[in-house]
Amino acid sequence: MLQKPKGTYDIYGDKTLEMLYFRKLAEVLMDKYNAKYFETPIFESSELFHRGVGETTDIVSKETYDFKDRGNRNLTLRPEGTAGIVRSFIENKLYAESLPLKIWYLGPMFRYERPQAGRYREFYQFGVEAFGSNDPIMDAEVIGIVVNLFKILGLKGVSVNINTLGDKESRENYRKALVKYFKPYLKDLCDDCQRRYEKNPLRILDCKIDSDNEIMKKAPKMIDYLNEISKKHFDKVKEYLDVMGIDYKVNSNIVRGLDYYTHTVFEVQADIKGFGAQNTLAAGGRYDHLVEFIGGPSVPGVGFALGLERLFLALQAENIDIKEKICPDVYIFGTDIEQKGNVLSLANDLRMAGFNVDIDYNGKSFKSNFKYADKIGAKYIIIIGEEEVKTRVLTIKNNITKEEYKIELDVVINFLDEKLGEEDED
């Protein structure tokens, strides 16, 4: 029997309801921030991710799905959302429009890593990117989006860990300090760290293997190598977070796993039972030079991303149910097979009037139709028979209270509007 590839999963049933609810919530929330929805291709030129995400990152060096197409072009299934958004921003000359521009996306990403709870090889990511402002107020607002999202979902103990990587000058000073510090300890570090030492020593701090090593704990801290510009930027970010009442703490160990970050980097956590130290649900930061690096003009940016699978696990652990059951407003069936056309005609009219409608397709018995209506949670049942067609008066039953009404066909839409409106108010 054919089965889905390792590290993937099917979306159906409750998973569908969770995904649809989250998408609706994201749409409403992002409208509040005047952010525009964006989609980019699922695969892009491999060069985009090698340049944008970084050759020294685990994502590019170990986890990307790379392939050649029939035109012998090197392509990669997108492992994250930012690089593709930046490519589109440049290619479509969106920098010539009114800036700042806030963008959000939601879709599948692909990384070849060991599957585990909440971590798949195909996973869904929600993210926000904001282009055109290097003001720290934008850093704070982007962080605020995540915090507000988690609070709306009902997660408790939402907090932020922030750090700064400084500007180019600060980062270069820090890089030199790390090179000097780690040189005597290279033989004590893992193979990946030894490789990173030559290409990007800052990435050593993001190592998962040596994270508890005393050498790492005593490494120089970025905050000690910031110039005045970088210090002021970071101080302002903290000030704006205070203004919004957002809990945060400065964590000098956050460097993020991507090469393009500058200034603010952050992780957003929730206090979730059983998640332990792995309770980070979203992360991001500022990338003032990424647009230019990929081939566009000098346009600053800042953003974040979160994985839906891990978020849904966190909600489940907190007993937060976001599954919005969608039930038909109306279920229609005929008293005999001759009424199928009339059933379909009424269903079409009601759907075009905005009602959620299901019908009997298989000619079930009266008893089976009522059982099916209960099963799908239909709010009202309409029965069409020869008498109803002749008199143009329909039998409508409230499937909750079991009340029955005789309603003229011409006013059925008004009747349902009124009744369902009353239920929504209750």
For residue range 71-83, list pLDDT tens digits in order: 999 999 999 999 9
Question: 170 or 359: which carries more pLDDT confidence?
Answer: 359
Is the predicted pLDDT of residue 150 greater than 90, yes or no?
A: yes
- pLDDT confidence of residue 201: 80
212 pLDDT tier (thresholds 50, 70, 90) = confident
Is the predicted pLDDT of residue 84 greater than 90, yes or no?
A: yes
Domain residue limits, the chain: 14-167+227-317, 330-425
Going by C-alpha positions, the residue among 283, 319, 288 that lies closest to residue 125 is 283
The model's pLDDT over 276-315, given as tens digits with 9 standing for 90+, comes to 656 889 999 999 989 998 999 999 999 999 999 999 999 9
- pLDDT confidence of residue 53: 67
- 192-198 contacts: CB < 8 A, separation 24 or more? 192/58, 195/56, 196/56
Is the predicted pLDDT of residue 39 greater than 80, yes or no?
A: yes
The model's pLDDT over 311-335, given as tens digits with 9 standing for 90+, comes to 999 999 899 999 877 899 999 999 9
In the numeric block, the tokens 């790492």 are attached to 216
Mean pLDDT score of the chain: 90
- pLDDT confidence of residue 238: 97
188 pLDDT tier (thresholds 50, 70, 90) = confident
Q: What is the C-alpha to C-alpha distance for residues 254 and 271, in angstroms, rounded to an integer?
A: 18
The C-alpha angle with vertex 15 and arms to 11 and 19, in degrees rounded to 5, equals 95
Q: Does the domain at residues 14-167+227-317 carry the CATH identifier 3.30.930.10?
A: yes
Arithmetic mean of pLDDT, 19-29: 95
Beta bridge partners of 282: 268, 306
Q: Are 317 and 274 in contact (CB under 8 A)?
A: yes
pTM to 2 decimal places:
0.86
Q: Residues with Cβ < 8 Å from 88, sequence gap 6 or more?
A: 38, 40, 94
232 pLDDT tier (thresholds 50, 70, 90) = very high
Structure token pair of residue 242 = 């205070």
Arithmetic mean of pLDDT, 21-30: 96
The model's pLDDT over 365-411, given as tens digits with 9 standing for 90+, comes to 999 999 999 999 999 999 999 999 999 999 999 999 999 999 999 99
Is the predicted pLDDT of residue 426 greater than 60, yes or no?
A: no
Identify the CATH assignment for 330-425 out of 3.40.50.800, 3.30.930.10, 2.40.30.10, 3.40.50.2300.
3.40.50.800
Q: What is the C-alpha to C-alpha distance for residues 205 and 196, in angstroms, rounded to an integer?
A: 10
- pLDDT confidence of residue 237: 97
Arithmetic mean of pLDDT, 57-64: 71
Structure token pair of residue 137 = 């107020």
Is the predicted pLDDT of residue 191 greater than 90, yes or no?
A: no
Q: Which of the 8 DSSP states describes residue 185?
A: G
Q: What is the C-alpha to C-alpha distance for residues 38 and 35, in angstroms, rounded to an integer?
A: 9
Is the predicted pLDDT of residue 258 greater than 60, yes or no?
A: no
